[in-house]
Structures are given as structure tokens and as C-alpha cells.
Structure 1
Amino acid sequence: MNSNTGPATGGVYRYYVLIMLMLTFMFNITDRLVMSILIEDIKAEFLLSDTQIGLLAGTAFTVFYLLLGIPAGRLADRTNRKTMVAIAVSLWSIMAALCGAAVGFWTLFLARLGVGVGEAGGAPPSVSIITDYFAPHELSRAMGIFTAGAVLGPVLGYSAGGYLAAEYGWRWAFIVLGLPGVLLGIILYLTVKEPVRGRFFPADASAAGVAKQEPFRTAMLSLWRNSVLARVITANAFANVPAFAFAIWLAPILMRKFEITQGEAGLYLGAVLFIGGVPGMIFGGFLADHLAKRTPKWRPWYCALALGLTLPFWASCLLADSLQWTLGLYIVGYILLVSTQGAAYSMMQAAVKPTERGTASAIGSLLANLLGYAIGPALIGVMSDGWADQYGAMSLSYAVMVTAVISLTVSVALFWWTSQAMADTPSGLALEQ
């Protein structure tokens, strides 16, 4: 199939495309994380342990996501990307709604598997499309706007999910928040134009335009040997481990520790994430682009600095004795962490050829979800259950804190290491010898 239905359109239209893809990413995260605010209800109805909740919240979602991630990325590099996004968002939205029909652990587990199947096909074509609508010097800010969906998703999931669960039950929260994604998929398919691949990289545009793709083994070896890509993907994956941990477990921590209601937890977390996350994502992208004018190495340097500052705020918030201090410390750390995402995504995309972008994005998502969703939540649940007798209600907080401290420390070191693989050139992508 020819993946190019027409030339990319500039001006205001490209921002329309960006907003549509950001909304797709928002529902991606909403359908993935709405379960966080519903954990206590589901746990009580099905008599589950924290370990089982960790499996449902993280591992179930990622099983097929991990299996299908790279094939989805390869498909995004050779087929019509906007059609792929439209199909993906419709599929995962239907499966998210079906979570509301679960009758026990295994039926909910299977529905969560289905959510992962759909979401595996969402991000790779989306970031590839954006890279062909925005020039390299403005890519960090564009990716910052796109990844703002990762903030708006939890905001919608926490606030609307908490309200719907309190008023109508947790099942309706899944249904009401899942189905709108189907409508979004239809609108995206009808209104978004497929851009020309590699339009900002003329040397590769001709081959990319006919969807010429290297054999799988050749492409994977090329990506493996790409020092910038390998390092930034690994660094960003470790940065996302605590982000996912807080996204899944902070609501039940607040409800257990401060005895607030489900609706209150959703309202507080939704407000905190919206106030801090959206400006953090967008401002971080603009700041990274500005600093990179001096040297491209500022992109990984900025990520390392921001994540290093995140660590004390997030460790402290889990030990705070008041709800106000917990939320206040959390929001500062959250702003710092999410401000790195625009720079990280832009480095991943700019480091590879146009015909490798979907695959590179899929590998990045695969590793982030392997560590952050498949392993992290279940491991935290195991630690919480194991420490419950000794630490009581604080066992979950300690489990999240240990995970955050270790993963953020590793991420800071890896982002600094990424800068060592970047040459001091306009693109910053030529490897230093």
C-alpha cells in the first residue's frame, strides 16, 4: 500500500493534526490508567491482593503490547499511518469499555490484554506523522504538545473516573471513558492527511516515499548500533518507571493513608496533574529546543538535570504526613519529570532514518512498558504485600519510593551518557569517534 496520500500541509493545519494525535494519546493513557482510581472498588468486589491488582493494572496490559509493539512499528514504517492510528484507537477503546463487563479476575485480565493489543498500534505511527509535519528545530516543542496527552489522560481518568465510579459504579467508569475513543478514530480517519515521509530529510525522502524498508534483521542491527537511540530509549524507559508507578498507585496510597474518598482522590489528582503537567510538557519542549541552539547535547543534559531534581521531591512526598504536603511535593516533581518528554521523543525520532521512525518509537515504547507496566506495578504489589505486616498502610508507599529512587538514579546516569554519544553538530546526531 502506498503510504502517501498527499503532501504534508503546513500552517495551522499541522497543529490540528498535532492536537488530534495528542487527543488520541490522551485516550490511550486514560483507558490505560483509569483503573488506578478504581483499584479499591475492584479489589473489594473481587477480593484481590495488591499483587493481583499489579498484574491487572500493568502486566495484563503489556503482554500483547510487548509482543505486538515492534511489528506495529514496522507496519507504521510501510503503511498508511493515519489509518493505522484510527483503527488502533477504535480497537483499544472498545476493549477498555469491555472491562466494565468483567465478572472476575480473569475476565478483567483478558479485557486488559485487549487494551494492550490496540494501544500497541497507536504511538509508533503518531510520532512518525508528527516528525513529518514539524521541522527538526521545532520537534521538541511539537513532541511536548503531543506528550501532553500523557498528562491529560490521567486527568480525565482520575477526575471523571472517580466521579463516575462514585455515582454509578466502577463498571460505568470503564464504559463511559472507553467508547468516545471510537468516535475520535472515525474523525481522525476522515480529517487527517497522511504526510510525505522524510519531507525534512531530502536524501531519504524518495526511498521513504515509496515505503522502501530494509529487512527486519538489517533494520534492527542498524538501530542497535545507533548509540544515541539506544541510550536515550533506555534512559527514558527508566524515567517512566516511577511515572507509571505513581500513576497507578498514588490514588490508593492517598485513600489508604489519608482516608479520603474515591471521588476526592480523583479530584485532587486530576487538578494536580492538569495544573502541573500540561505546562510542564509544553514548556519543557520549548526550553529544550532553546537550549539546544547552543549545543544539541543540552537535550540529554536537560533531561538528566530535571530528573535528578525530581528524585528528592517524589521520595519526600511519599513520607509526608499531610495530604497538602504530599500533593505539593508530588506536583513539583511531576512538572520536572514530564518536562523531559519532548526532548526525549525528539531525540529518538531525529536519531533515525524516516523509514525507521515507527520501529524506533515502538522499541522505545516496548522497553518503557516492559519496565514501567509489565514489571513495575506487579513488583510494587509484591513488595507491598510482603511488607504489610511490618509497615501497615505505609508498605505501599515504601514500595513505590524504593522503585522511584532506583529508577530515577539510573535514568539520570543514562541521559548523561547519551550526551557523550552526540557530536557537537547542528543535528547533534553524528556519533563521536
Structure 2
Amino acid sequence: MELHCANPAVSDAAASTIPRRYAWVVFALTFGLLLSDYMSRQVLNAVFPLLKAAWGLSDTQLGSLSSVVALMVGLLTLPLSVLADRWGRVKSLVLMALLWSFATLGCALATHYGEMLAARAIVGLGEAAYGSVGIALILSIFPAHLRSTLTGAFMAGGAFGSVLGMALGGYVAVRFGWRWSFGVMALFGMVLVAVYWMTVTEKRIASNQAREVRTDGTRIGLRGLVSALFSSVSVICAYIGSGLQLFIMAAVLAWMPSYLNRYYGLAPDKAGAGAAVFVLIGGIGMVVCGIATDRLSRGVPARKWLTAIAYCAVSFVLIGLAFRLPAGPLQLVLLGAGLLVVAGTSGPAGAMVANLTPSAIHASAFATLTLANNLLGMAPGPLVTGFLADRIGLLGALQTIPLVSLGAMLAFTLGRLRYTRDLRRLDSLRPHAAAQ
């Protein structure tokens, strides 16, 4: 098994075969499909109150409709990412988008809980590998020196898509019915898929992808891949800490429209729009916290662990305190401040994973991080909150979930204690790598 660090000069040379204007068109369309991805995923949260009234669903059932998407993403992101690299990234992205768009249309046509759950599971199947395959395609056609900028911009699309899905979904649901909310998202996805298929050519992208593989020089078997992905205690702690912390963000954002509806008396459209603001705050926080982490840890990579621990602690205090205050402006301000940092661990966790795995398998490493984020955070967060809400009320459930931050803090603390030792051992195996 050979593991080599990527050579930026080679990557730049490979990317130069794609005209810059065409590369940006590909980025814009791929970003647009990411918006569709999250719009289709998060529109459900905006219509929770209407579905509950229409079908008499429990909060556990409502939570499961949200969690099943993240569960499918978590289970399938890694195998489908590997298949996409072999079958063709453009064809895979188009097929994924078609699948989640038709499944979202199926949500609009569902007549009971079982059909809706099945349709939502298929939405998750379509979305499972889109993030990892989409960013891999984008990075393959741009120079290496733009990777951080492109990755940050692309991943921010998840927050923006969530905002659009919740705000637009609530608006449409109140005026035309909840089924039209899903229908609009499905139509947007289908139109964008058609434009993507006519504009982005597999031949052009595939030739550049093949060149990238040849110049990397990596050949690794399944056993070696698994060993490298879980090669140290600290990288495992990074996976676990990241996933647990996202449990809180997923739970709060999934149930925020319902919380605003029940405790602030807002109509579903206004509750969806209000919740969308908090989603946007969370997305902005991911970018801001990532920038802050890089500046604070410049020259001392181990400080990334300390920033992750700090984000966990601050969010635990602010969100926990917010839900123990009476409904009002102060509660909303504290909640917004907590959501600004609750997902701030995403940047540090990603940097830790990159530092602790060979550059040749970074795509697989980030797919593994995505798996942990979904199985430990995005999937169980809404479901567990709904389960608790059926027993102690939604407010009681939201007062309880910040405790998960303590588990994330413990994981990041353990990872920091082992980080220097693990990094030194890994650096001895890849002498030309440098932690950033």
C-alpha cells in the first residue's frame, strides 16, 4: 500500500485543462443542486404542525420523518461515494438529484405516515453521497490553492438550502397546502437536473478525474483503507465529538418551527421563516468559527482541539440557559448566540481529520466524518427529541438535549490528550506531510 501526499503543482496542472469560466459554471450548478438537496430535506420541518394536525402524528413520528433522511445519508455516504468515483461523478450526481427530486414528489403524494416515511427514506438515499461526490468533482477542476475557499463556500450551501426550504416551504404550505411545499421543491430539483445534464459533460470532467488519479499514485485496498481511516485514538475522537455536537444543532433546528408555533403562537409560515433565521445563524457560525479557529491555531495545530472544546462549552451554557427562560426576546437572543457556535466544531473537526489521515484518502476520511455526523448527530437528534417530547413536552426535551455537548467535550478532550503522540507517529509514516 502506497500513500502519498497530494502535490499542489500537479493538481494545478490537472485543473488547468478545464477552462476557468466552465469550471465556475460547474461550481454554480453543483452548488445549486446542493441547495435543492437541503431544500428537499428541510422543507419537512416547516410543515410539522400541518402534518401533525392532518394525520394526528406523534412527535416521535414527526421526528422519525426527519431522522430517516440523515440515517440513510449516514449509512450510505461512504459506499456510494466509492461507487461514484468508479462509475462517474457527473452521472452519479445527476442520478442522485433525480432520485431525491422524485422522492420529494412522492412526499407530496403520500396519503399516510408509512408512505411518507418510505418517501423520506428514498430522499435520503438520493442525498447520501451528494456532498462528498459534489465537492470531489469541484476540487478536481480547480487549482489546489483554491480548495479551502471552495470547500467552505460549497458546504455553506447546506445552511442556505435549509433556510430556503424552511422559509419557502412554510410560505407555500399556508397558502396552498403542505403538499405543494414538497411539490415546489421537487420541481426546482428536476428543472436544475435538466440544466445540469445539458451543461456539465461527463467526458470533460472524467478525463480530468482520471488524470488526477494517475498523478496521485495511490493504490489502497479495503483493509488498508479502513486501517488508515481509524488509525489513531485522536481521529476517532474527532469523528465522535463532531457527530455528538451536531446532535444538538439537528435537534434544535428540526423542532424550531414547532417550538415557535407552540410557544410563541406563530403561524406555520411565520414559524418556518423564524426558524430559517436560526438556520442561517448556524451556517454563518460554521464559517466564522472556522476562520477563528485557523487564526487562533496558526502555528499551533493542537489549539484546534481547544477551540472545539470551547465551542461545545459555550453552546451548552447558552442553549441550555435559553430554553429555561420564558418565551421572549432574551430567550431568542441567547438561542441565536448558542446556535452561532453550536456547529463551530465542524471546522476544527475537519482539520483534525485531515491532519490525522493520509492526504491520499481524504475523500474517504471526510465521508467517514459525514457518516459519524449523521449516525451520531443528524439522524438521532430530531428523533430522540420527538421521543422525549411525547413524554415530557417539547420544551422539556429541548431543555435536555444540550447535555449531549458534555459527551462531545469529553471526546475532544481525550483526542487532545492523544493528538501530539498520534500525529508524531503518523508523521513518521508520511514525512512530507505538514499539519495545518
Deviations 1:408-429 (A, max 9, x none): 4345435645744445999554
8 Å Cα contact 1:384/1:395 also seen in 2: yes
- Equivalence map 1:247-286=2 (5 Å): 247-274=253-280, 276-286=281-291
CA distance in 2, matches of 1:92, 1:45: 24
The one of 178, 183, 189 equivalent to 1:175 is 183
CA distance in 2, matches of 1:422, 1:75: 30
Shift of 1:155: 0.8
8 Å Cα contact 2:166/2:276 also seen in 1: yes
Deviations 1:376-403 (A, max 9, x none): 3222222222224xxxx63333343444
CA distance in 2, matches of 1:15, 1:286: 24
CA distance in 2, matches of 1:229, 1:12: 38
Shift of 1:213: 4.9
Shift of 1:61: 2.0
- Could you tell me which amino acid in structure 2 is paired with residue 57 of structure 1? S
Question: Aligned Cα RMSD in Å?
Answer: 3.3
Gap change, CA 1:291 and 1:90, over 3 Å in 2: farther
Shift of 1:249: 1.2
2:59 corresponds in structure 1 to: 50
8 Å Cα contact 1:162/1:267 also seen in 2: yes
1:409 corresponds in structure 2 to: 409
The one of 119, 122, 137 equivalent to 2:127 is 119
1:7 corresponds in structure 2 to: 14
2:205 corresponds in structure 1 to: 194
2:161 corresponds in structure 1 to: 153
Shift of 1:184: 2.8
8 Å Cα contact 2:234/2:414 also seen in 1: no
2:220 corresponds in structure 1 to: 214
SS at match of 1:305: helix
CA distance in 1, matches of 2:271, 2:322: 15
Shift of 1:183: 2.9
8 Å Cα contact 2:253/2:279 also seen in 1: no
- Could you tell me which amino acid in structure 1 is paired with residue 193 of structure 2? G
- Could you tell me which amino acid in structure 2 is paired with residue 118 of structure 1? G
Gap change, CA 1:280 and 1:399, over 3 Å in 2: closer
8 Å Cα contact 1:232/1:414 also seen in 2: no
SS at match of 1:322: coil
Q: Does 1:382 align with 2:383?
A: no
8 Å Cα contact 1:140/1:345 also seen in 2: no
2:319 corresponds in structure 1 to: 314
1:71 corresponds in structure 2 to: 79
Q: Does 1:100 align with 2:108?
A: yes
2:398 corresponds in structure 1 to: 397
Q: Does 1:244 align with 2:250?
A: yes
CA distance in 1, matches of 2:139, 2:233: 20
- Could you tell me which amino acid in structure 2 is paired with residue 379 of structure 1? V
8 Å Cα contact 1:123/1:361 also seen in 2: no
2:4 corresponds in structure 1 to: none
SS at match of 2:266: coil
CA distance in 2, matches of 1:339, 1:70: 24
- Could you tell me which amino acid in structure 2 is paired with residue 78 of structure 1? R
Gap change, CA 1:61 and 1:272, over 3 Å in 2: closer
Shift of 1:7: 3.4
2:333 corresponds in structure 1 to: 328
- Equivalence map 1:128-139=2 (5 Å): 128-132=136-140, 139=147
Gap change, CA 1:66 and 1:279, over 3 Å in 2: closer
Gap change, CA 1:54 and 1:418, over 3 Å in 2: farther
**Any gaps of 5 or more consecutive residues in structure 1?**
none
CA distance in 1, matches of 2:365, 2:110: 35
- Could you tell me which amino acid in structure 1 is paired with residue 399 of structure 2? Y
Q: Does 1:230 align with 2:236?
A: yes
Shift of 1:346: 4.6
1:367 corresponds in structure 2 to: 372
Gap change, CA 1:120 and 1:350, over 3 Å in 2: farther
2:32 corresponds in structure 1 to: 23
Shift of 1:134: 6.3
Deviations 1:273-315 (A, max 9, x none): 33x3454333334334444442333433333322322221111
CA distance in 1, matches of 2:282, 2:15: 30
CA distance in 2, matches of 1:413, 1:21: 37
- Could you tell me which amino acid in structure 2 is paired with residue 247 of structure 1? L
The one of 33, 37, 46 equivalent to 1:37 is 46
Gap change, CA 1:382 and 1:225, over 3 Å in 2: same
Q: Does 1:166 align with 2:174?
A: yes
Deviations 1:229-256 (A, max 9, x none): 4332222111211111112112212211
2:7 corresponds in structure 1 to: none
CA distance in 1, matches of 2:154, 2:351: 11
Shift of 1:34: 1.5
CA distance in 1, matches of 2:89, 2:176: 37
Gap change, CA 1:373 and 1:281, over 3 Å in 2: closer
Gap change, CA 1:271 and 1:143, over 3 Å in 2: same
